Amino acid sequence: MTIKKMISIILVFVMIFTLGACATKNTNSDANSKGESTDLEEKVVIYSTHGESMLELVAEEFEEKTGVKVEFINLKGELADRVRAEKGNPQSDVMFGGASSIFMKLTEEGLFEAYEPAWGKDLDFLYKSADNFWFGTIQTPVMMFYNSDMMSAEDAPKDWADLSKEEYKDQLVFRNALSSSARATYSSLLQQYEKEGSIEEGWTLLKGIDMNTKQYYGSGSLMFQALGRKEASISFAPLNSIIDNKIKNEMPLEVIDAESGSPIITDGIALIKDAKHPNAAKAFIDFAGSPEMQAKLANEFNRLPTHPDAFTDSPEWMEEIKFKPMSVDWSDLSSKESEWMQKWDTEIKDTEKDAK
Amino acid sequence: MAFVEFRNIKKIYGERAVCQNINLQINKGEFFTFLGPSGCGKTTLLRLLAGFIFPEEGKLFLNGQDITTLQPEKRNVGMVFQNYALFPYMTVYENIDFGLKINKIPKKEREKKIKEYLEIVNLEGYEKRSISELSGGEQQRVALARSLVVKPEVLLLDEPLSNLDARLRDKMRAELKDIQSKLGITTIFVTHDQTEALSMSDRIAVFNKGQLIQIGSPNEIYLEPVNSFVASFVGETNLFEVKIVGNKAYVTDEFILSLPKKLDGKFVSIRPQDVILSKSQPLDGGYKGIIEEIKYNGTLIEYTIKCNNIILKAVQINNYKKKSLISIADSVYINIDSQCIKVLKY
Amino acid sequence: MIDRLKNINISKILITSLLLWILIGFILYPTLRTFSVSVHSQGDISIINYLKVLETDAHFTAIKNTVVLGLLTVLICGVIGTALAFLVHFFELPYKRVIDKLLMMPLVLPGLIIVFAFVQLYGESGLITKTIQNIFNLKEVPFKFSGLSGILLVHAYTQYVYFYMNVSIAIKHIDQSSLEAAKNLGASRFTLFKSVIIPFIKPALIASSIITFMTGVGSFSAPSIIGGSFKVMTTQILLAKANNFMGLAASQVIILTVISIMYLVVFRYYENKVTFVSQVKGVKISPIAINNKITRNVLYAILIILVVIIILPILTIIVLSFVKPGTWMVDIYPREFSFDNYVKIFSKSRAFAPFINSIAISLITAVSCMIVALPSSYIIVKAKSKWKVFIEFLVMLPWAVPSSAIAINMINAFNHPTIFTGENVLVGSYILLPIAYFVSLLPLMVRTTTISLHNLNDDYIDAAKSLGASRWKTLKNVIVPFLYPGLLTGFSFVIIRSIGEYTLSAFLYTTSNKPISIAMVNGIFEYEIGLAMAYGALVVLIAFVGNLFINKIRKY
């Protein structure tokens, strides 16, 4: 190793660090200088909870249409956390996906910028924020289901409260508290009891369910794999996952229409405050939630749309949905979810179960 | 009866026989030396006796008992290794204590013994020292004490002095001999240094290439070597291949030695101290030679002389009275008494 | 002449200052920030976060569990690693070199990949589990791969190597003549083992236990994926962070770090006490042949089983990477195979990017580690700087800090502008992940260079100087060649560690630097187990190739 080599390595190192520092500086000044122009920037950065294949579809179509490069990562349950941590220097432009309760919370924390996309007007007020900070693009019902090879319809539970019955011991598998759909579901259940002023009963129910739970999974696919291999028989998951596994992977699953209803999570989209590529971000929001895109996602991925126009091009069963929705006050839930989930994870979920 | 006996011992490594046909008997209380060049098999014999290796053929006896197949820890044989092999993580006390503990000797007695043997090896008060603090000589004495304290029937010393400097070596030779005779313990000493062997031993066994060449007292080995190897290995000598006709030994046609009588042989050996030099021609004639080299050795002066194309070594005592007048390039006359010439068959 | 003096001092001062800047900015400051966050609540200084941790059952259990996990890991890995070291190096064994190389393999495999492979093999519907169940017609699964036992299984697999390596080296250095001397004094086999062999390997045992404990308590992949209800601090920290309870997360980070450091300090002290220098040339032992045929065959059988167990997860990863996407949700044994997964990785840029990212980040990390480690080691070992102790402390501090803690420290330190980063916010930027890797792996590199430097006798430097070599020439021709093997070893270790790293990545990655480990986990999430395994297989491949390459270069 000659001295020359060592010096050149040092130079490379210095260059890399400087570049890294400059890059961050540049993009900062970029955003500032381009503040007023309406040209689309060359790229847009998306943080999401949606799966890779769905994101790829949306990204590719957007890239084709506008020539803007889409960079995305799906952070799943850690999405809100990441957006929060980057408050001082946001790296993302759009938050795409995640329950409305989370969007409400982050709006309160001042992480979004208000922007109404063209399709926003036609949305039911249930699916958007009052002051245009976020809009729902997908309805995600979370429903109970069971492996019909292991259990008949009569033996299957009829309602959430049934899950704590003794006959279902070791038959349940669920997602853990890092999954946003699980958080929303557990919190919705608790809220049902809180509304009546008897939240303690809610905790008791959750404890009872925990006793019957064989294992918690951090990964949806491992959980479905467990069900497929008959390690357990009952679970809950977003409807689209259930349909996916039922059709694509040919698993013998049946959905349960809960008597007290199933929570419907609205997946939202929002513009990040101080985003580095605001114009491209707005264009993306316009694109991703448009009725055309919603219909496409409905057909390819079984995601229920929020826009009334999208239903005409969506699979028939979506219009005829006959399951009972659970009545949930998402905005109230958003302020309590963190605390409830921390308590759930530390005090309720405690026997041999977690896996990712 | 012999105290230690090697009977028909043969040891093979791979294709090579490192020891062949070894028959040896050592008496009780003897200081017995195995002498020979590197690779002659002397250390192998020691290790065979200690039990670290086993012979392919033959038997070993100790105090009448057949120990050939006995495991090393069951033999009552004490060994001091060339590198002392002290346990580096123990103190002096703990090292010596090791064997005693194994013999389940009660603590008070062990303490007494350790103190006693430290005195014997002249290391009083060294109990708490750590091994890394000790000099070479001190380590060697601890190793000795460690082996002796468990009262082995025979003590094996594997070139114990080779790692010491010259002065220390002399001192230790004396001490070793002293301890050995005081305790009366049968000792086998391995060395390649013939001075050591000659000065310390009761008897010596000379080995070469895995074979036992000669056994005898130091005097016997020195004065009556059985062959040219022993003659040249033990002590300096002038060794010549000769043709014997009658009672004359022809080294070359110009250098002829007179033998005391008609003898048979191929070699002659003449010790340097028996080559007499003088400035003036001796009465019974003698060869004339030139001094090529002079080495002062303190007590002795060594001369290398070229005489009729033969190189000879001579030695004189550097006595005050006999102040030598010989210098390099001088001419001198050589006189060799025929009685001093040793004729060897091979 | 005065100019020359000035030059020497200036370069020395410059380098030391730069070093201190980097070390303080990226190691000390983040740790202090986390500490500060942990002792603040609602804007005031308070210890309420710590109290919460100690008083809440779940959190306190997590602390207990973490310590228990660490100690059990040490015990199990100690037994396995030491036994293997003896089996392979103390006794005579056929194919010794091959087996030795095989036994070192788990070192190059990232923990995350092992966990997934294990789940596929030993999980409830795993290949091995079901096979055993079928063969023996059992009604229930023969064993449960989750919770403490599951984590320990993964730890045993990945960490026995430290003990194996260190004890093997110690065994090779046992002085044969010490053994013979002991036998000569009458020692039975048991006494030999207890009084001669054990003292020789004690320092190796202690050093290995330190590394193993710290890796055990900082372990994240296994507990988070299969730990089940066995809560440990690393997963609790992630949870607190996800719920945005940063104070809680910070306090747990500090507690975890303290536990780690305490073990280190106690056992380092102990290690120094039992380390001895063997003077006088010892004789290396030659392996002992096992003469009892039955014992020998039993031991060989055990060894073969062990080798199979070790290779199995790697084979699993490779085989599973060829499973056709979406086909393995119901059956126990996969049925359809294809190259689809690999095609996807290499043809779709989004799939290929993580591959490139990991390689790029590994290289950046390794180079930065080398550049910082060199002057640091030099100052620690050779130079007489007054900053010596401080620098050594800073450079080794991350070693005692588990990865999740380092990640939290990074977030706390760099989610706002600081002077160390030129008033930039690093959270969300590309460079934060390599910096975190760098901090985490610097101690490893420094260790290897320091060891090499220790072996560099001052006499060599003096000899060079007496022959007229200038400072630079001495550096180039004497010091650097000496360090070369150590540097290369450190370099390759850092690369191998970085390629499969998961914990730091999970906390800190962003769109521009999504590494392979995240792609793997995402693959698992998206029902694409085959794809995840394909990524895994590639990581294993890179690690192997890297290892071979380094070994080849070493010969020169």
At residue C551, the pLDDT reads: 66
Least Cα distance to C216 among C85, C65, C333, C1 occurs for C65
Cα–Cα distance between B217 and B207 in angstroms, integer?
15
Selecting from C182, C191, C277 the residue whose C-beta is nearest the C-beta of B132 gives C277
Type and span of the H or E element at B66: strand B65-66
The predicted structure's pLDDT at residue A354: 47
Chain A contact set for C416 (CB, 8 A): 88
A5 touching chain C per CB within 8 A? no
- Domains in chain C: how many in total? 1
Radius of gyration for the alpha carbons in chain C, expressed in angstroms and rounded:
25
Angle between helices B92-102 and B136-148 (to 10 degrees): 20
C424 closest CB neighbour out of A24, A231, A350: A24
ipTM of the complex model: 0.80
Residue A25 lies in a domain: no
Q: What type of residue sits at position B267?
A: F
Q: Is residue A11 in a domain?
A: no
Report yes or no on A5 lying in a domain. Answer: no
Q: What is the mean pLDDT of residues B124-150?
A: 91
The shortest C-alpha distance from C238 to chain A (Å) reads 9
| C57 contacts on A by Cβ (under 8 Å) | 346-347
Identity of residue C471: R
Does A346 touch chain C if contact means CB atoms closer than 8 Å? yes
Task: Confirm whether C325 is domain-assigned.
Answer: no
Do A129 and A179 lie in a common domain?
A: no
Count the neighbouring beta carbons within 10 Å of the beta carbon of residue C335.
9
Q: What is the pLDDT of residues A338-351, one digit of tens each?
A: 888 888 887 787 64
Cβ-Cβ contacts under 8 Å, C199 against chain B:
87, 89
- What are the two backbone dihedrals, phi and then psi, of residue A311, each rounded to the nearest 5 degrees? -65, -30
- Residue C475 falls inside a structural domain: no
pLDDT over 50 (residue B76): yes
Low-confidence ranges of chain C (pLDDT < 70): 1-9, 277-282, 326-332, 471-472, 527, 550-556
Distance from CA of A261 to the nearest CA of C (A): 27
Question: What tokens were used for B209?
Answer: 């290439």
End-to-end CA gap in chain C? 39
Is C550:C492 a contact under the CB 8 Å cutoff? yes
Long-range contacts of the stretch B158-161 (C-beta < 8 A, 24+): B158/B43, B158/B46, B158/B79, B158/B80, B158/B81, B158/B82, B158/B190, B159/B43, B159/B82, B159/B190, B159/B191, B159/B192, B160/B80, B160/B82, B160/B189, B161/B191, B161/B193, B161/B196
- Over residues B21-54, the pLDDT tens digits come to 999 999 999 999 999 998 888 999 999 999 999 9
CA of A90 to nearest chain C CA: how many angstroms apart?
Answer: 7
Q: A346 Cβ partners below 8 Å, 6+ apart?
A: C56, C57, C58, C59
Helix A100-108 vs helix A330-343: angle between axes, to the nearest 10 degrees?
Answer: 90
Picking from A13, A24, A355, the nearest residue to C368 by CB comes out as A13
Per DSSP, which regions of chain A are E strands? 43-48, 69-74, 94-99, 112-113, 134-147, 172-175, 213-217, 234-238, 253-256, 264-272, 304-305
Whose tokens are 């949305």? That residue is A123
HSE of B159, CA atoms in CB hemisphere, 13 A: 17
List own/partner pairs for C341-348 with CB under 8 A and 24 or more apart: C341/C528, C341/C530, C341/C531, C341/C533, C341/C534, C342/C534, C344/C531, C344/C534, C345/C531, C345/C534, C345/C535, C345/C538
CA distance to partner chain B, nearest, from residue C76 (Å): 27
Residue A300 lies in a domain: yes
What CATH number does residue C126 fall under?
Answer: 1.10.3720.10
Please check whether residue A6 lies inside any domain of the structure.
Answer: no
Mean pLDDT rounded to a whole number for chain B = 90
Residue A342 sits in a domain whose CATH number is 3.40.190.10
Residues A99 and A176 in one domain: no
- Do the two chains A and C touch, given a threshold of 8 Å on CB pairs and at least 3 pairs? yes
Backbone dihedral region of C473: left (phi > 0), alpha (psi from -120 to 50 degrees) or beta? alpha
Q: Give the residue, B298 or B33, on which the prediction is more confident.
A: B33
CA distances (Å), origin C447, targets C437, C451, C551: 16, 6, 19
Looking up tokens 């120094």 gives: C272
pLDDT of B123 > 60? The answer is: yes
Tell me the β-bridge partners of B285. Answer: none
Residue given tokens 């399951």 in the structure block: A323
Amino acid sitting at position C173:
H
Q: Specify if A203 maps to a domain.
A: yes
pLDDT of residue C6: 53
Comparing A238-247, B161-170, B225-234, C541-550, the range with the smallest average pLDDT is: C541-550
Partner-chain contact C371 A341, CB within 8 Å: no
Q: What are phi and psi of C405, to 5 degrees?
A: -65, -40
| C:171-210 residues touching chain B, CB 8 A cutoff | 175, 177-178, 180-188, 191, 195-196, 199-200
Asked whether residue A211 falls in the same domain as residue A160, the answer is: yes
Q: Are residues A256 and A282 in the same domain?
A: no
Shared domain for A243 and A347, answered yes or no, is yes
> What is the three-class DSSP state of C526?
coil
What is the reported pLDDT for A26?
40
Q: Tell me: do A131 and A63 sit in the same domain.
A: yes
Within 8 A by CB and 6+ apart from C164, the residues are: C80, C81, C82, C84, C85, C103, C104
Rounded to whole angstroms, the Cα distance separating A37 from A277 reads: 11
Query: Is residue A339 located within the same domain as residue A224?
Result: yes
Total domains in the fold of chain A: 2
Cβ-defined contact of A12 to C367 (cutoff 8 Å): yes
The minimal CB distance from C185 to the residues B89, B98, B132 is found for B98
Q: Which of residues 244-263 of A touch C (CB under 8 A)?
A: 245, 248-251
- Taking CA atoms, A238 is separated from A185, A262, C273, C439, in Å, by 10, 10, 60, 40
A232 and A336 together in one domain: yes
- Report residue C133 as tokens: 């169940």
In a domain, C113, yes or no: yes
- A344 lies in some domain: yes
- Both A104 and A47 in a single domain? yes
Tell me the mean pLDDT per 10 residues along chain A, length 356.
Answer: 49 53 41 55 90 88 91 82 82 90 88 91 84 90 90 88 87 82 87 88 88 80 81 88 82 87 90 92 92 90 87 76 79 84 79 45
Residue C393 within a domain: no
Contacts of A178 in chain C (CB under 8 A): 238-239, 242
Q: Are residues A61 and A130 in the same domain?
A: yes
The closest alpha carbon to A46, from A37, A38, A33, A57, belongs to A57
| CA B247/CA B249 separation, integer angstroms | 7
Quote the CA–CA distance of B6 and B49 in Å, as a whole number.
Answer: 9
CA-based nearest residue to A219, from A163, A181, A254: A181
Tokens representing residue C142 in the block: 């023969």
Could you write out the DSSP letters of every residue in B9-46? EEEEETTEEEEEEEEEEE-TT-EEEEE-STTSSHHHHH
Interchain proximity C371–A1, CB inside 8 Å: no
Q: What is the DSSP string of B167-193?
A: HHHHHHHHHHHHHHHHHT-EEEEEES-
Note the pLDDT of residue A20: 45
CA end-to-end span of chain B, whole Å? 33
**Checking DSSP bridges between strand A213-217 and strand A172-175, what pairing results, if any?**
parallel
Strand-strand pairing, B287-296 and B331-336: antiparallel
C454 is a domain residue: no
Parent domain of C73: 61-232+279-320
Residue C93 lies in a domain: yes
**C546 lies in some domain:** no
User: Which 169-208 residues of chain A touch chain C by CB within 8 A?
Assistant: 177-178
Determine the pLDDT at residue A33.
42
A212 assigned to some structural domain: yes
Run of H or E residues at C413: helix C403-414
C244 is a domain residue: no
pLDDT of residue A352: 44
Beta carbons within 8 Å of C109's beta carbon, 6+ residues apart: C158, C313, C314, C500, C540, C543
A80 CA: distance to closest CA in chain C (Å):
8
If asked whether residues A210 and A253 sit together in one domain, one would say yes
Q: How many CB atoms lie within 10 A of CB C553?
A: 13
Sheet hosting strand B331-336, strand order edge to edge = B275-278, B331-336, B287-296, B300-307, B310-317
Domain that holds residue A307: 43-139+265-320
Q: How, if at all, do strands B154-158 and B186-191 pair?
A: parallel
